[in-house]
Amino acid sequence: MNLLPHLRHTDSGNFFLIAGPCAIEGEQMAIGIARQISALCDKLEIPYIFKGSYRKANRTRLDSFTGIGDEKALRILRHIRDELSIPVLTDIHSVREARLAAPFVDILQIPAFLCRQTDILVAAAQTERIVNIKKGQFMSPAAMRFAVDKVLLSGGKAAWITERGTTFGYNDLVVDFRAIPQMKAFGQPVIMDCTHALQQPNQNSGVTGGRPELIETLAKAAVAVGADGLFIETHPKPSEALSDGANMLPLNKLEELLTKLVKLRKAVL
């Protein structure tokens, strides 16, 4: 954790939080969310990393929202980092994107469907940014060791792992919480994605569904089994979000949830 600049409250004993909107929809929205979560995390002494995808490449339908423009969205991420003095994270989808995004952010995230793509993992490692690898819905926890090795053996300074559920039939996911201690044995931080793990992908409408009412359940379970961090996508009005609104947490519910989780963390330490 000390690899990240501007990360506050690292001595609090709390889990760290990666949170923000699914996608950067505009500067005012993104900065507003970042400010609110940053103030809340300062209040609760939770180390906080802002998350926002500068582009969305893995959408179901051709007409789905993919972004406001790469350079524009990346500049917004850098502005959030500089103005609020908090680390920022974004997804990448190719070798070219690793090089494009790295100057603007602190953490490059590898989407779950790309977690085996060696060239992307190596390119991300070579930027000298922390690499957060989403565990593929098709991957066992043990197999994620090889993704971690690809990053670390390519010069990467850290390879975080994010659990986000396992494919369960055609349109659902299930979380095996044994995965968290199994992957922690690799010596890298392990994060629970409490929102994407509740997706119901590939609906007939071409729009991913979700079960956001279970976010608290997954978050509590993850804290109880020792997750180092939590990943929560949030939006002031999820029903109006341009990407993944069906499984995001309403921003006004975040404080109540985090307050409960901080108490739980203290109880299980």
**Percentage of residues in the chain with pLDDT exceeding 90?**
83
For 161, the 3-state DSSP assignment is strand
Q: Which residues contact 102 (CB under 8 A, 6 or more apart)?
A: 108, 127, 128, 129
For residue 188, is it within any domain? yes
Domain encompassing residue 143: 16-259
**Residue 201 clears pLDDT 90, i.e. is over it:** no
Per-residue pLDDT, averaged over 223-243, amounts to: 94
Rounded to the nearest integer, the mean pLDDT of the chain is 93
Q: What is the pLDDT of residue 247?
A: 83
Of the two residues 242 and 110, the one the predictor is more confident about is: 110
Residue 55 and residue 74: Cα distance in Å, rounded? 9
The predicted model gives 214-228 an average pLDDT of: 97
Compute the distance between CA of residue 99 and CA of residue 122 in angstroms, rounded to an integer. Answer: 11
**6-20, 55-69, 123-137, 177-191: range with lowest mean pLDDT:** 55-69
Closest CA to 156 of 181, 134, 132: 132
Distance, CA of 199 to CA of 154 (rounded, Å)? 32
Instruction: Report whether 212 contacts 247 (CB < 8 A).
Output: yes
| Residue 1 predicted with pLDDT over 70 | no
φ, ψ for residue 193, nearest 5 deg: -85, 100
What residues have CB less than 8 Å from 55, skipping those under 6 apart?
23, 66, 67, 70, 73, 91, 93, 97
How far is Cα 52 from Cα 231, in angstroms, rounded to an integer?
Answer: 11
Judged against a pLDDT cut of 70, whether residue 208 lies above it is answered with: no
Q: What is the mean pLDDT of residues 209-227?
A: 92
Q: Quick one: which of 58, 156, 66 has its CA closest to 108?
A: 156
Confidence at residue 2, expressed as pLDDT on a 0 to 100 scale: 66
Residue 267 lies in a domain: no
What is the C-alpha separation between 140 and 167, in angstroms, rounded?
Answer: 11
Q: Is residue 89 part of a domain?
A: yes
CATH number at residue 158: 3.20.20.70
Please list, in sequence order, all residues whose beta carbon lies within 8 angstroms of the beta carbon of residue 33, skipping any fewer than 6 positions away.
20, 21, 234, 235, 236, 251
Q: What does the pLDDT look like over 17-59, one tens digit per residue?
A: 999 999 999 999 999 999 999 999 999 999 999 999 999 877 6
Q: Note whether 189 and 178 are within 8 A (CB).
A: no
Nearest to 228 by CA among 269, 190, 178, 186: 190
Identify whether 5 is part of a domain.
Answer: no
Which residues are paired to 234 by β-bridges? 249
How many domains does one find in the chain? 1
In a domain, 268, yes or no: no
264 lies in some domain: no
Per-residue pLDDT tens for 94-133? 999 999 999 999 999 999 999 999 999 999 999 999 999 9
The pair of three-digit structure tokens given for residue 222, joined into one six-digit string: 């993850």
Residue 165 lies in a domain: yes
Stretch 75-98: mean pLDDT, rounded? 97
pLDDT at 205 over 60: no
pLDDT band at 191 (very low <50, low <70, confident <90, very high): very high
163 pLDDT higher than 50: yes
H or E, element range at 232: strand 229-235
Query: What would the mean pLDDT of 205-213 be, rounded to a whole number?
Result: 67
Q: What is the pLDDT confidence band of residue 204, given thresholds at 50, 70 and 90?
A: very low
147 belongs to a structural domain: yes
